[in-house]
Amino acid sequence: MFRHEIVITQGILPFKIIIHNKSVIQITKHWHQSLEIDYTVHGDGDYFVSGHKTHLKDGDFIIINSGEVHGVENIAPGDKRRSLTLLIPAKTMKKMVPNIANYYFVSQHTDPKKNKIIKKELAAIYYLWTKKDNHYAQIEILGHFYLLFSHLLQDFLVQKNEVLTFNEVKKQDKVKEIIAYLSQNFTENLTLSDIAKHFNFSKNYLDRLFEKEVHTSLMHYLQLIRLQYAYQEIANTNLPINIIADHCGFANVKSLQKLFKKIYQVSPKQYREQLKSQ
């Protein structure tokens, strides 16, 4: 995930549930209109939200507001990591809070007891979704969701102008535009100068802005987008690696191989061999 993501709900639930059962190396920075709540059952990782880092471990949760650029890094290795993601679409939010655009959810409350209530409801949703695969489980989940959301509205919702300045909102909006542009043009031979010219910024200002908000350089982020697409082609096609590198905008095959090995600890060829042996 590295662009504006459209969220589709499931069954009778007015939100989407994602269960993460394995470790991945990282989740590239992205954004969506949905409210996101992440709950770590077991394992840990570093969440970067609008340039701020939060470390999550067993039993921790984080709330990511609509439109915030976010990603996860330094996820603990191994197959035992388990976590839950709830994605609540903007239309669901507006039904419950018509003027939600003026508000912001804080990620943690100063009162540990209130945080504990949120953890309890998230744990219940995780258990029901993973242990009971039937229509009645969804009804139970719906009950826990509305309890969860009522507590969030009572204890975690604040006026947006209390936590974000006008300039901060403008910067976040501009970064979302940049991410959308990179996601649409990653196959092109883009340079920092090209991108800066497109947005009428100096190269230095553009790179500083992106680094501050996304926690990585703009050109490295562009390479990660290319890598995400290359990974899909490496895993799901028999195309030669050099053709994939060209498809995905890499300068040459060595550039793809070097980044792939850095992120996944194996070469593209070795990764394909691992998939075949499974």
pLDDT of residue 7: 46
User: What is d(CA 6, CA 89) in angstroms, rounded to the nearest whole number?
Assistant: 9
Q: What is the CATH number of the domain that holds 194?
A: 1.10.10.60
Structure tokens at 189: 């031979």
Query: Which of 125, 160, 195 is the endpoint of a domain?
Result: 160
Are 214 and 140 in a shared domain? no
Residue closest to 84 by CA, chosen among 21, 138, 27: 21
User: What is d(CA 145, CA 89) in angstroms, rounded to the nearest whole number?
Assistant: 14
Q: What is the pTM of this model?
A: 0.69
pLDDT at 236 over 60: yes
| Overall number of domains in the chain | 2
Q: What is the CATH number of the domain that holds 64?
A: 2.60.120.10
Are 59 and 136 in a shared domain? yes
Average pLDDT, the chain: 86
Residue identified by tokens 């975690």 is 156
Helix axes 253-264, 218-236, angle to 10 degrees: 90
pLDDT at 6 over 80: no
Task: Give the pLDDT confidence of 54-84 residue by residue, as tens digits.
Answer: 899 999 999 998 888 888 877 766 557 789 9
The residue type found at 214 is: V
Query: Which of 142, 160, 178 is the endpoint of a domain?
Result: 160
User: What domain range is 238 assigned to?
Assistant: 166-277
pLDDT at 2 over 80: no
Q: State the CB neighbour count (10 A cutoff) for residue 212.
A: 12
Residue identified by tokens 């995905």 is 248
Tell me how far the alpha carbon of residue 246 is from its chain's centroid.
27
In the structure, what pLDDT confidence band is assigned to residue 133 with cuts at 50, 70 and 90? low
Q: In terms of pLDDT, which residue wins out, 116 or 101? A: 116
Are 77 and 52 in a shared domain? yes
